[in-house]
Protein backbone atom coordinates (compact mmCIF):
# COMPACT_ATOMS: atom_id res chain seq x y z
CA UNK A 1 0.00 0.00 0.00
CA UNK A 2 1.16 3.56 -0.69
CA UNK A 3 1.16 6.31 1.94
CA UNK A 4 -2.42 7.40 1.24
CA UNK A 5 -3.76 3.85 1.37
CA UNK A 6 -1.95 3.22 4.66
CA UNK A 7 -3.44 6.25 6.40
CA UNK A 8 -7.05 5.85 5.14
CA UNK A 9 -8.03 3.08 7.61
CA UNK A 10 -6.90 5.23 10.54
CA UNK A 11 -8.81 8.24 9.25
CA UNK A 12 -11.88 6.02 8.80
CA UNK A 13 -11.54 4.63 12.34
CA UNK A 14 -11.22 8.13 13.81
CA UNK A 15 -14.26 9.46 11.92
CA UNK A 16 -16.43 6.45 12.83
CA UNK A 17 -15.46 6.77 16.51
CA UNK A 18 -16.35 10.46 16.41
CA UNK A 19 -19.76 9.66 14.91
CA UNK A 20 -20.42 6.94 17.48
CA UNK A 21 -19.33 9.30 20.26
CA UNK A 22 -21.92 11.90 19.23
CA UNK A 23 -24.65 9.28 18.78
CA UNK A 24 -25.19 9.19 22.55
CA UNK A 25 -26.57 12.73 22.51
CA UNK A 26 -29.01 11.97 19.70
CA UNK A 27 -30.09 8.69 21.27
CA UNK A 28 -30.77 10.52 24.52
CA UNK A 29 -32.93 13.04 22.67
CA UNK A 30 -34.83 10.36 20.74
CA UNK A 31 -35.51 8.22 23.84
CA UNK A 32 -37.56 11.09 25.29
CA UNK A 33 -40.04 10.44 22.48
CA UNK A 34 -39.86 6.69 21.82
CA UNK A 35 -38.85 3.48 23.57
CA UNK A 36 -35.47 1.78 22.91
CA UNK A 37 -36.92 -0.90 20.62
CA UNK A 38 -38.90 1.57 18.51
CA UNK A 39 -35.84 3.79 18.24
CA UNK A 40 -33.51 1.10 16.89
CA UNK A 41 -36.28 -0.30 14.62
CA UNK A 42 -36.91 3.04 12.91
CA UNK A 43 -33.20 3.88 12.90
CA UNK A 44 -32.20 0.80 10.93
CA UNK A 45 -35.34 0.90 8.76
CA UNK A 46 -34.31 4.38 7.60
CA UNK A 47 -30.74 3.20 7.01
CA UNK A 48 -31.91 0.21 4.97
CA UNK A 49 -34.31 2.31 2.86
CA UNK A 50 -31.62 4.89 2.06
CA UNK A 51 -29.04 2.26 1.12
CA UNK A 52 -31.63 0.42 -1.01
CA UNK A 53 -32.34 3.63 -2.92
CA UNK A 54 -28.59 4.06 -3.50
CA UNK A 55 -28.40 0.48 -4.78
CA UNK A 56 -31.39 0.91 -7.11
CA UNK A 57 -29.90 4.07 -8.60
CA UNK A 58 -26.50 2.33 -8.88
CA UNK A 59 -24.78 4.84 -6.65
CA UNK A 60 -23.40 1.84 -4.77
CA UNK A 61 -23.02 -1.68 -6.14
CA UNK A 62 -23.55 -4.93 -4.25
CA UNK A 63 -23.30 -8.53 -5.44
CA UNK A 64 -24.00 -11.46 -3.12
CA UNK A 65 -24.03 -14.22 -5.75
CA UNK A 66 -22.00 -17.34 -4.92
CA UNK A 67 -20.75 -15.81 -1.68
CA UNK A 68 -21.01 -17.18 1.91
CA UNK A 69 -24.13 -15.32 3.09
CA UNK A 70 -24.09 -17.38 6.28
CA UNK A 71 -21.10 -15.36 7.48
CA UNK A 72 -23.10 -12.15 7.06
CA UNK A 73 -26.02 -13.61 9.02
CA UNK A 74 -23.65 -14.38 11.91
CA UNK A 75 -22.20 -10.89 11.61
CA UNK A 76 -25.63 -9.24 11.68
CA UNK A 77 -26.69 -11.33 14.66
CA UNK A 78 -23.58 -10.40 16.62
CA UNK A 79 -23.91 -6.72 15.79
CA UNK A 80 -26.15 -4.80 15.52
CA UNK A 81 -28.95 -7.18 16.64
CA UNK A 82 -27.82 -9.04 19.78
CA UNK A 83 -25.29 -6.37 20.74
CA UNK A 84 -27.94 -3.62 20.85
CA UNK A 85 -30.33 -5.79 22.87
CA UNK A 86 -27.68 -6.71 25.43
CA UNK A 87 -26.31 -3.19 25.68
CA UNK A 88 -29.73 -1.56 26.09
CA UNK A 89 -30.90 -3.84 28.89
CA UNK A 90 -27.45 -4.06 30.45
CA UNK A 91 -27.04 -0.29 30.80
CA UNK A 92 -30.58 -0.13 32.20
CA UNK A 93 -29.71 -2.47 35.10
CA UNK A 94 -26.26 -1.33 36.23
CA UNK A 95 -24.54 1.92 37.15
CA UNK A 96 -23.08 4.16 34.46
CA UNK A 97 -19.55 3.64 35.79
CA UNK A 98 -19.81 -0.14 35.60
CA UNK A 99 -21.35 0.09 32.12
CA UNK A 100 -18.52 2.30 30.89
CA UNK A 101 -15.92 0.05 32.46
CA UNK A 102 -17.34 -3.13 30.90
CA UNK A 103 -17.82 -1.65 27.43
CA UNK A 104 -14.24 -0.39 27.60
CA UNK A 105 -13.17 -4.04 27.73
CA UNK A 106 -14.15 -4.48 24.05
CA UNK A 107 -10.60 -3.80 22.68
CA UNK A 108 -9.17 -6.38 25.08
CA UNK A 109 -11.80 -8.96 24.10
CA UNK A 110 -11.16 -8.25 20.42
CA UNK A 111 -7.42 -8.68 20.97
CA UNK A 112 -7.92 -12.04 22.69
CA UNK A 113 -10.40 -13.30 20.06
CA UNK A 114 -8.24 -11.97 17.23
CA UNK A 115 -5.23 -13.85 18.58
CA UNK A 116 -7.20 -17.11 18.66
CA UNK A 117 -9.43 -16.90 15.57
CA UNK A 118 -7.36 -14.70 13.23
CA UNK A 119 -3.88 -15.58 14.53
CA UNK A 120 -3.25 -11.84 14.90
CA UNK A 121 -1.10 -11.95 18.03
CA UNK A 122 -0.07 -8.46 19.19
CA UNK A 123 3.29 -7.74 20.77
CA UNK A 124 3.59 -7.18 24.51
CA UNK A 125 4.25 -3.49 23.87
CA UNK A 126 1.09 -3.10 21.77
CA UNK A 127 -0.97 -5.01 24.35
CA UNK A 128 0.24 -2.68 27.10
CA UNK A 129 -0.98 0.33 25.10
CA UNK A 130 -4.39 -1.31 24.59
CA UNK A 131 -4.66 -1.77 28.36
CA UNK A 132 -3.54 1.85 28.84
CA UNK A 133 -6.34 3.09 26.58
CA UNK A 134 -8.91 0.94 28.41
CA UNK A 135 -7.69 2.28 31.76
CA UNK A 136 -8.39 5.81 30.54
CA UNK A 137 -12.03 4.92 29.79
CA UNK A 138 -12.29 3.10 33.14
CA UNK A 139 -10.93 6.13 35.02
CA UNK A 140 -13.47 8.47 33.44
CA UNK A 141 -16.31 6.02 34.03
CA UNK A 142 -15.51 5.34 37.69
CA UNK A 143 -14.70 8.96 38.63
CA UNK A 144 -17.76 10.25 36.81
CA UNK A 145 -20.15 7.91 38.59
CA UNK A 146 -22.62 9.42 41.01
CA UNK A 147 -22.54 6.15 42.91
CA UNK A 148 -26.28 6.13 43.40
CA UNK A 149 -27.41 3.09 41.46
CA UNK A 150 -26.63 -0.56 42.11
CA UNK A 151 -25.31 -3.24 39.84
CA UNK A 152 -27.60 -6.21 39.31
CA UNK A 153 -26.10 -9.56 38.21
CA UNK A 154 -28.44 -9.66 35.19
CA UNK A 155 -27.18 -6.24 34.07
CA UNK A 156 -23.57 -7.40 34.27
CA UNK A 157 -24.43 -10.57 32.32
CA UNK A 158 -26.15 -8.53 29.61
CA UNK A 159 -23.11 -6.28 29.20
CA UNK A 160 -20.77 -9.26 29.14
CA UNK A 161 -22.91 -10.50 26.26
CA UNK A 162 -22.63 -7.10 24.55
CA UNK A 163 -18.84 -7.07 24.91
CA UNK A 164 -18.63 -10.61 23.51
CA UNK A 165 -20.87 -9.68 20.56
CA UNK A 166 -18.75 -6.62 19.78
CA UNK A 167 -15.66 -8.81 19.79
CA UNK A 168 -17.33 -11.38 17.55
CA UNK A 169 -18.42 -8.61 15.15
CA UNK A 170 -14.84 -7.39 14.71
CA UNK A 171 -13.57 -10.90 14.05
CA UNK A 172 -16.35 -11.89 11.64
CA UNK A 173 -16.20 -8.58 9.76
CA UNK A 174 -12.47 -9.06 9.21
CA UNK A 175 -13.05 -12.63 8.00
CA UNK A 176 -15.92 -11.67 5.67
CA UNK A 177 -13.86 -8.88 4.12
CA UNK A 178 -12.12 -11.61 2.12
CA UNK A 179 -15.39 -12.32 0.26
CA UNK A 180 -17.40 -9.10 0.58
CA UNK A 181 -16.72 -5.42 0.01
CA UNK A 182 -17.28 -3.10 3.03
CA UNK A 183 -20.39 -1.64 1.39
CA UNK A 184 -21.86 -5.14 0.90
CA UNK A 185 -21.26 -5.99 4.54
CA UNK A 186 -22.82 -2.71 5.66
CA UNK A 187 -25.88 -3.07 3.42
CA UNK A 188 -26.60 -6.56 4.71
CA UNK A 189 -26.18 -5.34 8.30
CA UNK A 190 -28.75 -2.59 7.72
CA UNK A 191 -31.19 -5.06 6.12
CA UNK A 192 -30.79 -7.67 8.84
CA UNK A 193 -31.08 -5.15 11.68
CA UNK A 194 -34.14 -3.49 10.11
CA UNK A 195 -35.80 -6.89 9.60
CA UNK A 196 -35.15 -8.17 13.15
CA UNK A 197 -35.79 -4.99 15.11
CA UNK A 198 -38.99 -4.06 13.25
CA UNK A 199 -40.43 -7.53 13.89
CA UNK A 200 -39.58 -7.20 17.59
CA UNK A 201 -40.99 -3.66 17.78
CA UNK A 202 -44.21 -4.76 16.04
CA UNK A 203 -44.64 -7.68 18.46
CA UNK A 204 -44.10 -5.39 21.45
CA UNK A 205 -46.60 -2.79 20.21
CA UNK A 206 -49.15 -5.50 19.37
CA UNK A 207 -48.83 -6.91 22.88
CA UNK A 208 -49.39 -3.42 24.30
CA UNK A 209 -52.27 -2.71 21.90
CA UNK A 210 -50.41 0.25 20.41
CA UNK A 211 -49.60 -0.98 16.90
CA UNK A 212 -51.34 2.10 15.44
CA UNK A 213 -48.64 4.20 17.14
CA UNK A 214 -45.81 2.53 15.18
CA UNK A 215 -44.74 5.66 13.33
CA UNK A 216 -46.08 8.22 15.83
CA UNK A 217 -42.55 9.17 17.06
CA UNK A 218 -41.96 10.68 13.61
CA UNK A 219 -44.41 13.45 14.52
CA UNK A 220 -41.71 14.89 16.77
CA UNK A 221 -39.13 17.11 15.06
CA UNK A 222 -36.62 16.19 17.79
CA UNK A 223 -37.05 12.52 17.02
CA UNK A 224 -36.77 13.10 13.26
CA UNK A 225 -33.50 15.01 13.66
CA UNK A 226 -32.14 12.31 15.95
CA UNK A 227 -33.18 9.45 13.69
CA UNK A 228 -31.61 11.14 10.66
CA UNK A 229 -28.29 11.31 12.50
CA UNK A 230 -28.56 7.80 13.92
CA UNK A 231 -29.86 6.23 10.71
CA UNK A 232 -27.56 7.92 8.19
CA UNK A 233 -24.36 8.84 10.01
CA UNK A 234 -24.28 6.49 13.00
CA UNK A 235 -25.55 3.46 11.07
CA UNK A 236 -24.65 3.70 7.38
CA UNK A 237 -21.54 5.89 7.45
CA UNK A 238 -20.01 4.78 10.76
CA UNK A 239 -20.52 1.06 10.19
CA UNK A 240 -19.22 1.33 6.62
CA UNK A 241 -16.08 3.08 7.87
CA UNK A 242 -15.66 0.46 10.61
CA UNK A 243 -16.03 -2.40 8.13
CA UNK A 244 -13.57 -0.66 5.80
CA UNK A 245 -11.07 -0.27 8.64
CA UNK A 246 -11.42 -3.93 9.65
CA UNK A 247 -10.76 -4.98 6.05
CA UNK A 248 -7.43 -3.15 6.09
CA UNK A 249 -5.84 -3.43 9.54
CA UNK A 250 -5.74 -5.92 12.41
CA UNK A 251 -8.82 -6.19 14.62
CA UNK A 252 -6.93 -5.19 17.79
CA UNK A 253 -5.58 -2.04 16.16
CA UNK A 254 -9.02 -1.11 14.86
CA UNK A 255 -10.98 -1.81 18.06
CA UNK A 256 -8.88 0.44 20.28
CA UNK A 257 -10.17 3.44 18.30
CA UNK A 258 -13.61 2.82 19.85
CA UNK A 259 -12.30 4.36 23.06
CA UNK A 260 -12.03 7.70 21.25
CA UNK A 261 -15.84 7.81 21.43
CA UNK A 262 -15.51 8.51 25.16
CA UNK A 263 -13.48 11.65 24.48
CA UNK A 264 -15.97 12.82 21.84
CA UNK A 265 -18.87 12.25 24.26
CA UNK A 266 -17.09 14.34 26.92
CA UNK A 267 -16.41 17.22 24.51
CA UNK A 268 -19.99 17.13 23.21
CA UNK A 269 -21.34 17.10 26.75
CA UNK A 270 -19.25 20.11 27.75
CA UNK A 271 -20.00 22.16 24.61
CA UNK A 272 -23.63 21.23 23.92
CA UNK A 273 -25.05 20.15 27.29
CA UNK A 274 -22.87 22.55 29.34
CA UNK A 275 -21.62 19.70 31.50
CA UNK A 276 -18.64 20.28 33.80
CA UNK A 277 -15.10 19.25 32.85
CA UNK A 278 -12.86 17.76 35.55
CA UNK A 279 -9.21 16.85 35.89
CA UNK A 280 -9.98 13.13 35.60
CA UNK A 281 -11.53 13.82 32.18
CA UNK A 282 -8.22 15.29 31.04
CA UNK A 283 -6.10 12.49 32.55
CA UNK A 284 -8.39 9.78 31.14
CA UNK A 285 -8.39 11.39 27.69
CA UNK A 286 -4.58 11.55 27.67
CA UNK A 287 -4.41 7.85 28.60
CA UNK A 288 -6.89 6.97 25.82
CA UNK A 289 -5.05 8.98 23.16
CA UNK A 290 -1.67 7.60 24.24
CA UNK A 291 -3.06 4.07 24.14
CA UNK A 292 -4.53 4.50 20.66
CA UNK A 293 -1.29 6.02 19.38
CA UNK A 294 0.91 3.31 20.88
CA UNK A 295 -1.31 0.45 19.72
CA UNK A 296 -1.00 1.55 16.11
CA UNK A 297 2.56 2.86 16.30
CA UNK A 298 4.40 -0.30 17.30
CA UNK A 299 4.40 -3.49 15.28
The rounded distance, in Å, linking the Cα atoms of 148 and 171 is 36
- Could you report the per-residue pLDDT of 235-273, keeping only the tens digit for each? 999 999 999 999 999 999 999 999 998 888 888 888 887
Other Cβ atoms closer than 10 A to 66: 7
Q: Give one DSSP letter per residue of 74-131, joined into a string.
A: HHHIIIIIIHHHHHHHHHHHS-HHHHHHHHTTHHHHHHHHIIIII-----HHHHHHHH
pTM of the complete model: 0.92
Q: How many CA atoms lie within 13 A of 284 on its CB side?
A: 28
pLDDT in tens, 147-183: 545 567 888 898 899 999 999 999 999 999 999 999 9
Question: What phi, psi does 147 have (nearest 5°)?
Answer: 75, 15
Domain count, the chain: 1
- C-alpha of 7 from chain center: 22
Domain hosting 245: range is 3-297
Amino acid sequence: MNGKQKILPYIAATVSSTIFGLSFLFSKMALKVAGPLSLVALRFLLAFIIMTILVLFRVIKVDYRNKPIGQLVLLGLAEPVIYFIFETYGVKNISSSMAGLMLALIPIVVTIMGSYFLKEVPSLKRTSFIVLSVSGVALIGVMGSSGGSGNSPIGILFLLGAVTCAGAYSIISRKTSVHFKPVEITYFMMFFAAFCFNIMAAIQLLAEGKINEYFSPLKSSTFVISILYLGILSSIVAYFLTNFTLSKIQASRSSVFSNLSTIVSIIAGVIILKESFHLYHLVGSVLILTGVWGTNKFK
